[in-house]
Amino acid sequence: MLLRSSIAFTLPVAFALVLSGCGGSSDPAGNGLSYRQQVAHARKEPLPDLRAKKLIRIAYGQAKAKDTLGAEETLRLAVEACGEIPDAAARAGAFSFAAEVLARIGNGSKARAAIADALAAAGAVEDTETKALTLARVGRAQGVMENLPAAVESLKRAEDLVAQLEDLVGRTLVLDTLAMSYQRIGREAESDRIITTALELAKTIEDDRQRCRAIAAVAARLSTMKKSQPAEQTFDLALQTARKIDNLPSRTYALADIAEKLSKSGDHARTHKLLDEAEKLALKIPQRDQQRLAVEKIRGLMRTLPRPPRKP
């Protein structure tokens, strides 16, 4: 099923060049290590999915540094690692990532081979929600490769699967991922349609906790898509929903979850205020074990934030 031989590096001299010093220049992200040293460290990673991701990132750095031969050899190692990933969805995601980088460095034939492996892996995914998310990831990679018809076909296949999902939260999460993928391939109208559908669907979820989770996920996605005003409005809606949750621990965790998403969106000032609110709630939880866990989570999030500016 996996087409490793079709992606193998075909210039034998290149490997010797890499080992003898070609691609040896350092990358700031590598903590002063040369690319060759970074590759050597990455190859020691026992988990193939992490090994593949590390190697692909190194290869992208090499490509940006105009080290084409080094990038080619590193990607060959990365693709081998992709093929070793046992989980089909993770394997498809890794091959898609590799295909994007191969396309960016101008190696179209190997990028197409990696996408073929990604599609084969996606076909082996049994869970409907996971398959839809996987196809959304593959479609985005196809868009990077400028194969828009294939990208749209993959995204439409993913959208067709959404209708089969009974879990409304899962359906919302797939839709917001699809919206991002459509935006990445330049289909803004489709992206807007799908993210709107995701939000309207999230609003219909009966359980307050699940509705809050889904709305917050859409808000975070809108922020990632650089739609600041809709994102802010949707975060407000998520907060309104969270504050209506009757169960005190659930309300506390819902606020903390929204705060974490706000932090990732860059709104640190609002995050600080929301975590303060969540901490006050956490301290009111009567069950000591639950209170301790909630407070630890909130304070852990606080430690990851920049300090708020001092008031004049």
Mean pLDDT per segment of 10 residues, for the chain of length 312 residues?
31 31 48 89 96 95 90 94 96 94 88 95 96 95 91 96 93 95 94 96 96 96 94 96 95 95 90 94 94 93 77 54
Alpha carbon 139 to chain centroid, angstroms: 14
How many CB atoms sit inside 10 A of residue 300's CB? 11
**What's residue 23's pLDDT?**
42
Residue 58 lies in a domain: no
In a domain, 140, yes or no: no
272 domain residue, yes or no = yes
Identify whether 131 is part of a domain.
no
**104 to 116, 144, 184, 221: CA distances (angstroms):** 17, 8, 14, 25
CA 268 to chain centre: 21
Predicted local confidence at residue 164, as pLDDT: 93
Question: In this structure, what token pair is assigned to residue 252?
Answer: 């506390």
Residue 99 lies in a domain: no
Query: Is 147 a domain residue?
Result: no
pLDDT score recorded for residue 308 = 59
pLDDT, position 12 = 30
Q: Domain range for residue 286?
A: 227-306
Spatial contact of 30 and 41, defined as CB atoms under 8 Å apart: no
pLDDT confidence of residue 17? 31
In a domain, 232, yes or no: yes
C-beta atoms surrounding 102 within 10 Å: 30
Backbone angles phi, psi at 273, to 5 degrees: -65, -40
On whether residue 295 sits in a domain, the answer given is yes
CA distance 65 to 27: 8
Question: How many domains does the structure of the chain reveal?
Answer: 1
Phi, psi of 189 (to 5 degrees): -65, -45
